[in-house]
Amino acid sequence: MPDDISSIQSRISEIQQRIEALSPGAPAATPPAPGQQSFATTLQQAQQPTPVQGGLPVTSEAAALPSSIPTGGDIPISLPGLAVRARVPAASLGPLPSAPLTPTTDQIIPAATQHSASNYDDLIQKYAAKNGLDPSLVRAVIHTESGGDPKAVSRAGAMGLMQLMPANVREAGIDDAFDPEQNIAAGTQQLAGLMKQYGGDLDLTLAGYNAGPGNVRKYGGVPPFSETQNYIRKVKAAMER
């Protein structure tokens, strides 16, 4: 193919020379105007291999573009005889790493309002001492029964920190089962009565508090209820904390 093109170029030059010889009065060939080129030059450039970058051909016009192109806006592109503005899409950065979120003031729960049996340590110490109980036992019962929520209500109707049943509330003669002090006062009194009834046996005391003295009497010991047995384990584990 290159040999054929060379032959064509030679033939073109020969023809041009003959034309000039046959037309002595004809003006000499003028050089191409700026921005233009002779046919022979164009043909010669066509023989040159086109460079490739990234698997794509790179033309002379494209090679003249800046190597670093901003993204996310319009950029001017100037080509011979052509002036355009091209839209370059913003580079895709992918998902940004999540930054740690700082809670707003309305999301922050004051420590005093967080439910915990330890929020009532003063009352626990006061009424445990009054009823001859280990404070860790009272604290563990509150933790297991209500998680330290003074407004807790069970499906069975038990109320407050130590989950007093309505009958226990009436027996204790308290006005408000959701008041922490009244609830702990009545709950520790009930717990102390069971401890005395079962001769200090902790398992039977907790079984009576959870399932009622009637079931302890009926089964001659800890009732075979999974709830009651799990309750005893949870309270004893909480006492060790």
Each residue's pLDDT tens digit, 224-236 = 999 999 999 999 9
């020969």: which residue's tokens? 14
Q: Which residue has the higher pLDDT, 67 or 3?
A: 3
Q: What is the mean pLDDT of residues 3-30?
A: 67
Each residue's pLDDT tens digit, 64-119 = 555 554 555 554 544 444 444 545 455 444 555 554 444 443 333 444 457 888 89
> What structural domains does the chain harbor?
116-239 (1.10.530.10)
Residues facing 99 on adjacent strands: none
Alpha-carbon distance 48 to 41, whole Å?
Answer: 11
Q: Is the per-residue pLDDT at 223 higher than 60?
A: yes
Annotated active-site residue in 145, 171, 181, 240: 145
The confidence score (pLDDT) of residue 56 equals: 56
């460079």: which residue's tokens? 51
Alpha-carbon distance 169 to 166, whole Å?
Answer: 5
Q: What is the mean pLDDT of residues 195-223?
A: 98
42 confidence band (pLDDT: 50, 70, 90): low
Alpha-carbon distance 236 to 234, whole Å?
Answer: 6
Active site residue 61: no
126 confidence band (pLDDT: 50, 70, 90): very high
- Residue 129 near residue 122, CB atoms below 8 Å: no
Phi-psi label, residue 163: left if phi above 0, alpha if psi -120 to 50, beta otherwise? left
The confidence score (pLDDT) of residue 41 equals: 62
Q: How many CB atoms lie within 10 A of CB 212?
A: 15
In the chain, % helix, strand, coil (3-state, to 5) comes to: 50, 10, 40
- Residue 12 near residue 39, CB atoms below 8 Å: yes
- Read off the DSSP letter of residue 105: G
